[in-house]
């Protein structure tokens, strides 16, 4: 499935039906009087959050949505049928913004949450409503009002318990594949992951949602390497897992580079809980790994864990550790 995290669409709620100007016509009833019914209400357009969706790809090819109009009123004081509301499904984490792409209208954070984006028009009044003591046979009726219509932006910001960040080829996708049900693309070259991947890890009958954020490079906060597109998905994560390849020649600089990009994008990201994971430890001697771990352990705010995705015990330990950050 292709990933799409931002799209512009047009919504048009249904117009209200017009009232009827009907007059009663029956045998032996000389002055039947007015019997025109009211028009039906136009359908509204409602967004609903669904857990089993993780992309806005459905809105890439269909960008215009028009709801049903209300039926016109009928004789015998029959009110026209109201239009059936149009429901549009979006992933949890979707934000609705006005056409300026800045003003937030609604933010979906929970499953089954609903938001009426465009209200349907009111039905018009039939001529029965205008009958009076001085006007026994009114021909007057009103038309239904128009439904709301405008352009809006849908923007998806991934919601996950744990967000995995790090440089390209640090092993983020390998970790996600080893501890969750996700099947990300894995290869020994940079930028294998081009879109955020979501996975669910189960441990002791408890679930945690983990997001693999594509590798960040220097200048990501300015949009280099589609950085801003990726960084916005980190905002919703409760805890950040900083993945570091221990075979990197300049570990500390690599770590500082990612921290700097997070800081320049939003200082709030630095306030999130952080787990530092030293990956690919099976490629170095234990003494060297311990020396590296001591260096990073100086940062008392962050917990440091060693990992080899090839060892089952190592993977099991990190699943248990991640669970402790959520529950």
Residue 223 has pLDDT above 60, yes or no: no
Does residue 178 sit in the same domain as residue 298? yes
At 267-302, the pLDDT tens digits run: 888 888 889 989 888 888 889 989 888 888 877 778
195 in the same domain as 87: no
- From the number of C-beta atoms within 10 Å of its C-beta (0-12, 13-18, 19+), residue 266 rates as middle
DSSP, collapsed to helix, strand or coil, labels residue 122 as coil
204 and 302 share a domain?
yes
Distance CA 51, CA 207 (A): 14
**Where does a domain end: 124, 156, 188?**
156
Instruction: Mark whether 179 and 142 lie in a shared domain.
Output: no
CATH number at residue 290: 3.40.50.300
Q: Is the model's pLDDT at 147 over the cut of 80?
A: yes
Domain endpoint, select from 100, 134, 156: 156
Better-predicted residue by pLDDT, 105 or 232: 105
Which pLDDT band holds residue 228 (cuts at 50, 70, 90)?
Answer: low
Q: Running DSSP on this structure, what letter comes out for residue 78? A: B
Where does 96-214 have alpha helices with state H? 172-179
108, 192: one domain: no
- Same domain for 231 and 277, yes or no, is yes
184 neighbors 177 (Cβ within 8 angstroms): yes
> Could you tell me if 237 and 255 lie in one domain?
yes
Together in a domain, 204 and 128: no
Domain hosting 318: range is 162-324
Q: How many CB atoms lie within 10 A of CB 162?
A: 24
For the chain, give percent helix, strand, coil, nearest 5: 25, 25, 50
Same domain, 94 and 236: no
**In this predicted model, which residue has the larger pLDDT, 266 or 31?**
266
179 and 76: one domain? no
Q: What is the CATH number of the domain that holds 36?
A: 2.70.210.12
> Which residue, of 156, 176, 194, is where some domain finishes?
156
Q: By mean pLDDT, which of 176-185, 190-199, 263-272, 286-295 is the weakest?
A: 190-199
Out of 37-46, 122-131, 166-175, 253-262, pick the least confident: 166-175
User: Do 18 and 138 share a domain, yes or no?
Assistant: yes
* pLDDT at site 16: 97
Q: Which residue has the tokens 């932006």?
A: 153
Q: Is the pLDDT of residue 185 over 50?
A: no
pLDDT attached to residue 189 = 37
- For residue range 196-219, list pLDDT tens digits in order: 677 777 777 888 888 877 655 444
Task: Provide the domain count of the chain.
Answer: 2
Do 27 and 151 share a domain, yes or no?
A: yes
**What residues contact 129, with CB distance under 8 A and at least 6 apart?**
19, 38
* Mean pLDDT score of the chain: 83
């Amino acid at each position: 499935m292709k990933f799409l995290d931002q799209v512009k669409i047009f919504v048009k709620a249904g117009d209200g039906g017009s009232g009827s100007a009907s007059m009663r016509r029956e045998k032996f009833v000389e002055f039947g009087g007015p019997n025109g019914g009211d028009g039906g209400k136009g359908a509204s357009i409602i967004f609903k959050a669904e857990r089993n969706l993780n992309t806005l790809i459905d809105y890439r090819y269909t960008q215009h949505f028009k709801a049903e109009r209300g039926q016109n009123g009928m004789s015998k004081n029959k009110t026209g049928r109201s239009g059936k509301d149009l429901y549009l499904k979006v992933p949890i984490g979707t934000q609705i913004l006005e056409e300026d792409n800045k003003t937030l209208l609604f933010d979906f954070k929970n499953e089954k949450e609903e938001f009426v984006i465009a209200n349907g028009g009111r039905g018009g009044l039939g001529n029965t409503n205008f009958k009076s003591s001085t006007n026994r046979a009114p021909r007057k009726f009103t038309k239904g009002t128009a439904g709301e219509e405008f352009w809006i932006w849908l923007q998806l910001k991934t919601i996950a318990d744990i967000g995995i960040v790090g440089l390209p080829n640090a092993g983020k996708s390998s970790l996600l594949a080893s501890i969750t049900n996700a099947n990300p693309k894995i290869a020994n070259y940079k930028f294998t992951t081009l879109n955020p991947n979501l996975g669910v890890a189960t441990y002791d009958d408890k679930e945690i949602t983990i997001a693999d954020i594509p590798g960040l490079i220097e200048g990501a906060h300015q949009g280099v390497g589609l950085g801003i597109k990726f960084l916005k998905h980190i905002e919703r994560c409760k805890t950040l897992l900083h993945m570091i390849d221990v075979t990197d020649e300049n570990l500390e600089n690599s770590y500082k580079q990612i921290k700097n990009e997070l800081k320049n994008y939003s200082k709030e990201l630095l306030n999130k809980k952080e787990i530092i994971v030293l990956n690919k430890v099976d490629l170095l001697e234990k003494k060297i790994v311990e020396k590296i771990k001591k260096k990073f352990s100086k940062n008392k705010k962050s917990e440091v864990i060693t990992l080899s995705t090839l060892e089952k015990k190592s993977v099991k330990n990190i699943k248990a550790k991640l669970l402790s950050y959520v529950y």
